[in-house]
Amino acid sequence: MRIAVIRKGHFNAAHQLYVPSWTREKNERIFGKCANPNFHGHNYELEVTVIGEIDPVTGMLINLKTLKDIITEHIEEYFDHKNLNLEFEEFKDSPPTTENLCIVIYNRLRTVLDEKYDVKVRLSETPRNFAEYPVN
Ligand code: NI
């Protein structure tokens, strides 16, 4: 029987959304305040969904302590209090939007979580905006 477990995470990071080949006016029109020149922070909230079969002996899908430690080590400690534009190769050529950050987080988790699991990541940059990856 397949089931999902979900673990939440949290980190703070700074960014700026800015396409260098556009004018400042166009960047402000498209990205709003996220285009401000001196960066700004967001309180990112994360939900990691792990899907798979319950182990009949333990009754668990995944040890939640293990999942917590993976999120702490590979996501929270990696991104917390950093500047997404300046400190990450991942955003050298792609804007650190919620969408792109969600995919980067998914890819990092995918490399450490057992391949027997399906994984889904939901990321919010503000309480009302979310991105989710992957989607069908
Ligand atoms: Ni922003």
CATH code of the domain in which 17 resides: 3.30.479.10
Active site residue 34: yes
Measured between alpha carbons, how far is 38 from 34 in angstroms, rounded to an integer? 10
CA of 65 to the centre of ligand 1 (A): 31
Q: Respond yes or no: is residue 102 known to be catalytic.
A: no
Residue 112 pLDDT > 90: yes
pLDDT at 136: 80
27 phi-psi bin (left φ>0, alpha ψ -120 to 50, beta other): alpha
pLDDT digits over 5-54, tens only?
999 999 999 999 999 999 999 999 999 999 999 999 999 999 999 999 99
Selected catalytic residue, list 15, 42, 102, 125:
125
Question: How many Å apart are CA 79 and CA 76, to the nearest integer?
Answer: 5
Are 62 and 117 within 8 A, CB to CB? yes
Give the dihedral of Cα atoms 76, 78, 80, 84; nearest 10 deg.
Answer: -130
pLDDT at 128: 95
**Average pLDDT, integer, range 102-128:** 97
Does pLDDT of 90 surpass 90? yes
Q: Give the distance from CA 44 to its chain's centroid.
A: 8
Residues 105 and 80 sit within 8 Å (Cβ to Cβ): no
pTM for this prediction: 0.96
Domain holding 100, by residue range, is 2-133
Q: What is the mean pLDDT of the chain?
A: 97
Give 69 Cα–ligand 1 centroid separation in angstroms: 27
Residue 1 has pLDDT above 90, yes or no: no
Q: How many domains does the chain have?
A: 1
Considering only residues 136 and 128, tell me which one the structure prediction assigns the higher pLDDT.
Answer: 128
